[in-house]
Every structure is written in C-alpha cells, then in structure tokens.
Amino acid sequence: MIRSFINLFVALGIFFYSFVALCEQWLAVDIEGIDVSAQAVLEDCIKVVKDKGYTGLILKINSPGGSVEVTRNMIGKILAVDFPIISFIPDGGRAASAGSFIAVSSHVVVMGSGTNIGASIPISSTGKDLSEDLKTKAQNDLIAFMDSVCELRAKNKDMIRSFIKIGTSITEKEALDHNVIDLISSSYGDFFHKLKGKRIKIKEGIEFEFTDDLPEIKEFKPTVMQRIVKVIANPNICYLLFIAGIIGLGFELTHPGIVFPGVFGAVSLILSFIAMSVLPINYGGLILILLGIIFLVAEAFLPSFGVVGIGGVISFVLGSFFLIDPSNEQGMRLAWSTIIPTSICAAGICIFISYLVISNLRRKRKSVNDSFIDQEVKVIRVDQSRIQVSINGEIWNAKILDDKSVVEGDIVKVKRVSGLELFVEKK
C-alpha cells in the first residue's frame, strides 16, 4: 500500500515536471526612452534569455523616441539574436520616433487598442529642429538603414519612409492595413493564442514556430544601478551633478568641518563621472569649465579689475556648451536654459566662497596681530632706525617708537602692528 502511494507521488512529480518543462517561458521587459540605459537593459535581457533558456523576449514598448545611435545599436543586437523577439505596444501606448524603429526590427510586432506608431523625423536632443542640411543627411541615413531592416522583416518600406520624411503617425488599424505590424491584441494570452501555429524566420537558417498559446511570462526588473544610470545619463542632469560636486568639495575644502557640502559634493561628482562614462563627453569642454571656476576664484584674490572674472565666466559658458561632443550622432546637447542659469549661479557661488575665504584669512591675521601686543621680544638685528626682532619663531621688521637706541640682544615690547611691521618700545 505504502509502495503504491510512493509510486503515485513519483508519477505525479514526473508529470508535473514534464508539464513545467514543456511550458514555454518568455522574458518581458519595459522599453520607454531609447537611451544608453535602455540599451544596457536590452543587452542584459538577451544574456538572461540565453543563459536561462527562455524561449524568447517580449519588448513592451511605450516610447516617445530617443537617440539615433542607441537605436542603431539596439537594432543591431535584435538582428543578431537566434531566438524570437516580439515588440508589444500595450493599450494606450505608442512607439514614436526611435521606438517605431525598434518595434519594426523585431520578429513580430503587436499593437494594442488606442495606440500609434511613427512620427520619426530626426530632431536634436533638445527637441529643436535640425538645420535643413543636417536634417536631410540624417533622414537619408535613417531611410537607407530602415529599408534594409524592412526587407529583413518583410515590412512596408514606403510607410516607414513616410515616418522619417514627413513624420507620419498611424493607428494600430492603419499599421495592420499597411503591413507595419503583424496583429492587434491587448494581452499576452490573446496574441500568443493568435500566433499559435505561425512560423517565422529568425535569421538565415533559423526558424521558429509558435506552439504554446499560454506560455509563462517572466518580467525583467532592472537593477538599481540601471535605474540610477537611466536618470543621470541625461546631459543636463550630468552637468548639474558635476558643477554641484565641484562647488560642494570646494566649499568643504575652504570651510573644513561642515561635512555636508563635502559629502554631497563627493557623491554628486562620482554620479556625474558614472554618467560621463556613457555620454559623448568632450574633455576639452570639461577643462574649460574647470579653468573657468579657477578664474572666478582667482578674481577675488587678484587686482585684475574684473578681467580674470569675465574670462572665467566666458570659459565656463564655452566649456558648458562644448561639454557634450557636438559631433555626436545622438544630437545630444546641453540646453541653454540649463547653461545660462547654472553659469550665473556658479559664478556667484565661487565669488561668495572666495569672499568668505578672504574674510576668514583677514580675521585670522587680525587675531594673530592682536596677540602680539605687549609681548616682549628680542632684537636680533639693528639697522639705523629699523630693527628686526624674533617673535613666536618668526622674524619681523620693527620700528622703535621712543627713539631710544637699542642693540642686538635687547628686549623690547610690541605696542602695535601695522601690516607686516611691528612698532616697539625699549623695555
């Protein structure tokens, strides 16, 4: 009897294991902005699919667009895989601009209700239109690239061209009618049911047939690092973090013991360096910014009548403008609405910190000078009406107030201090 129960449990275990093993597993990931962080997430997902043996990858796209260079990199990754990738635009979502290119490059494209795709005219990262020559060049480059992708995926080249040339944007029904997408569906279960039995070409010599209409879907969760990079890998945020870091550390170095500015500055600076590792940074611009800060600080110490300060502001603004490599293909730029206020604030803060440093030095000197009064010091050299005395291990020039003669070795008393000269009386 016991043996029969054991055999039954073993049989049920084998059946359950076989059922789980036969059930397809797909990895799903959200794709929003098409930027370096999205590229890193896609690369991680592809690795996870390969390492853990998932059947395929679902890109849940709801994107306004993003970087052209990153788009090319992501499409290159998608075209190179040997497993199926489905782009799914959920209800109410969109695959605009670069997002539409990512979607079309997938093996299967699914759109939900109330969605749209297209509007892919290239613009700068600040949202402004490109110059006519640059716009034409960028459009022709994108058209040639997407023509080749459309040929691989058997999609409508003319409609994709209209996305790029005139900014056409179409609904899910229009996209299906014009062979831009493969089907309309609002859920994983529904579109897998509709795809069951469909055979697709992954790449040369590799095909895939959808056999499971109820696969298991695993959601990919980005790491904390990926989430942080997604936020800071914005040129404007990276720039603000860098400036805040420099100012915070500068304040801590000139006013040790406050702690918070130093900690805040160090963290900000490290975060900006992490962002710079994934952004097209022009290090000439970085040097100009640092030079500008040095000039602004020096202005408080040098009698330049504003020349050094003006030079510092100009250097700071030019460095800010050139900080992001102007030749980058993403069209990334620092916004003037970020550069101008930051430059004004940074100049004011640097001058203010320099003023605090000078005031502090003056107070220290005054307190030291006051401590000299009424001290008895030894004469170490006599030269007519001027003498030199030793005080606290330092040699100072001194002048006798009472016109009495003194010789080396005499003891005199300090009565007052003027600049770097002591006025003494013979004891």
The DSSP secondary structure of 382-416, one letter per residue, reads: EETTEEEEEETTEEEEEEESS-----TT-EEEEEE
- pLDDT greater than 50 at residue 308: yes
The pLDDT-based confidence of 19 (bands split at 50, 70, 90) is: very low
Query: What pLDDT is stored for residue 220 in this prediction?
Result: 94
- pLDDT greater than 80 at residue 72: yes
pTM, rounded to two decimals:
0.66
Residue 107 phi/psi, 5-degree rounding, is -70, -35
Q: Which of 168-182, 249-263, 313-327 has the highest mean pLDDT?
A: 168-182
The pLDDT-based confidence of 8 (bands split at 50, 70, 90) is: very low
Determine how many CB atoms are found less than 10 A away from the CB of residue 383. Answer: 8
Tell me the C-alpha distance between 77 and 81, whole Å: 7
Domains along the chain with CATH numbers: 24-222 (3.90.226.10), 234-369 (no CATH), 373-426 (2.40.50.140)
- pLDDT greater than 70 at residue 360: no
Residue 415 phi/psi, 5-degree rounding, is -105, -35
User: What would the mean pLDDT of 319-345 be, rounded to a whole number?
Assistant: 78
SS3 annotation, 240-259? HHHHHHHHHHHHHHHCCCCC
Nearest to 161 by CA among 142, 175, 178: 142
Between 349 and 304, the higher pLDDT residue: 349
Query: What pLDDT is stored for residue 143 in this prediction?
Result: 95
Tell me the C-alpha distance between 62 and 303, whole Å: 58
Determine how many CB atoms are found less than 10 A away from the CB of residue 205. Answer: 7
Tell me the C-alpha distance between 269 and 264, whole Å: 9
Tell me the C-alpha distance between 167 and 129, whole Å: 12
First to last CA, the chain: 119
Q: At 197, which amino acid appears?
A: G
- Per-residue pLDDT of 372-424, as tens digits, reads 787 888 888 887 667 888 887 778 888 888 777 788 888 888 888 877 788 88
In order of 103, 377, 406, the CA distances from 92 in angstroms are 16, 87, 97
Determine how many CB atoms are found less than 10 A away from the CB of residue 109. Answer: 26
- Cα three-residue angle 160-161-163, rounded to 5 degrees: 65
Asked if residue 45 lies in contact with residue 27, where contact means CB atoms within 8 angstroms, the answer is: yes
DSSP-assigned beta bridge partners for residue 109: 87
- Tokens encoding 209: 């047939």
Alpha helices in 53-187 (DSSP H): 68-80, 98-105, 132-153, 157-165, 172-177
The pLDDT-based confidence of 355 (bands split at 50, 70, 90) is: confident
Tell me the C-alpha distance between 156 and 175, whole Å: 9
Dihedral class, residue 151 (left if φ above 0, else alpha if ψ from -120 to 50, else beta): alpha
286-313 core/surface letters (b: 16 or more CB in 10 A; e: else): bebbebbbebbbbbbeeeeeeebbebbb
Tell me the C-alpha distance between 87 and 72, whole Å: 16
The pLDDT-based confidence of 46 (bands split at 50, 70, 90) is: very high
Determine how many CB atoms are found less than 10 A away from the CB of residue 214. Answer: 12
